[in-house]
Structure 1
């Protein structure tokens, strides 16, 4: 069996070293004679692993003691609803910045639980650029401001952290967490589905400022309350033990790679190489996103003739380039360049693109 170059948007590529270690430890984890999935989450071995995973993440992201780190379930979509349940009272409003599919979905899921103010949107621009900062209409009384720094489907990314004053900034970082250094202190809450830059699907990592855990909101089941999860070290119920374990391996792998400074340099170089190939193709390939808003993680492109799309996908898969088909809502192609996608994968892709253009020009 040979490994392919995996450009899937999610669930996405995992570091090969992480997969190999998980494979080695599958039947006998940590000298226990059983897999991590067969262990009690209340047991000493698992609790030590969970603590180490949190410590490694705190080190990677320079997370201070002012923040709790939670390992939750439900995917980011569940937390679209759970965040307003935890951060807003029944009569409160919250500001939302719409920059693509996922931020728009966050609005629709939050609407039953908070009075949503769409403070800015790029929908009229077909999500091809970011909402102009001068057009944002923020409410200083809002319970929080929510935005999506990187839009996986539309391929746009904020290049800086927006300034929102004293209102807590909430970010869905599912597709760009751990891709570069981050000033966590600028945020009230960061959350991320694991299946792009952290580990397998089914896990959500959340970083929440501790004072926000004390907000008086509304009656809800304990399982939905972040303060309860923090008080229980994310073990109010049985957690996703496998996802937590693989996330911990990924954090160790990131440290071995040189941390987030090294990952930022590598990710920037990968994206620049692919955008150069697109922009330098003489129009054979096109990326529609305004250059200042282009995503490093998710690169969209189309061929000059969409009749060639099927041929491109068939030949690229035969060449060992997996999951390049664009999202069904947009068509075309999409290459996701998360942390685990090595530079060699991008080199193989750009070489294939050049060869394809020469053969099918």
Structure 2
């Protein structure tokens, strides 16, 4: 129910004009015809002239574009994913020909081959030249087009890193080809969905593919699967799109309570390094350099302090964390507070007191207030009789 509400709200936001679609006719040499495109740019695209954005290509755009674009706008508004450029290709009268494959090799043929070249050799290069696209590119499809989009996965250097396959009508050898590619590939995000009331043949083949995918062990690829209860071939789309975005952009979101409990606390290596690596990885993937969130600093510092009660060496991680917080949030108390804790716990009370005093002069943030920082200073003075 919550996911349905999210989808409805997202679509309302899009319709209301904050991120209106641009309609464009694209003349294709490969297809020898024009194709209608729907393009949604991020809200502040014109203002952020140096910023690049992930590109999401939506097949079957005559009915898939709006739910995808609406969810992208909604998720990015709440910073659960990066703002992205969404481009839909209308296929209302051409989808079967566009997705045509031969019955010998089960590869694109005739119009299907032309459409494949149109996407890879014309449309994506055009979008890269016209708009500020980042490295990350995702493609979305449903039934026929969800099968077709897999052909891009089989290239040596795929132009898409993310694949959203909503109830795909799979070609006979597709399950073996997909699982084999996922097993040997890297930096691939693959989302697959069916439903209990999906078309029987489609559901059977999708479940068989999922069974194969469950045996794949490759830490450099990311596979996600949903079998929605009580949804049909068509209604699963409204549930699958937000689920796919949640899964593919999990690393982009703030550190959650679940990640804190299941990842940070059991982590045997440096929690500080985890934070740095997380933001470095998201920058590489999404092409966006972000300021580290205060929420993430707090999650990491809390984990460090909790683990340090059992391992004194862990206190040392607060020093680089404090310096990083000063760099990222120079006008706030945050970094100086971490340095103060570090100096206190490593036997340097005078340095700790100076760190708290330096923080006292800056802006309050999260749980840190001037009174709190002053209390830290006074407590050290009392303890040492200064």
TM range (shorter): under 0.3
Q: Structure with the greater relative contact order (CA < 8 A, sep ≥ 6): 1 or 2?
A: 1
Q: Which has the higher helix share?
A: 2
**Which of 1 and 2 has greater Rg?**
2
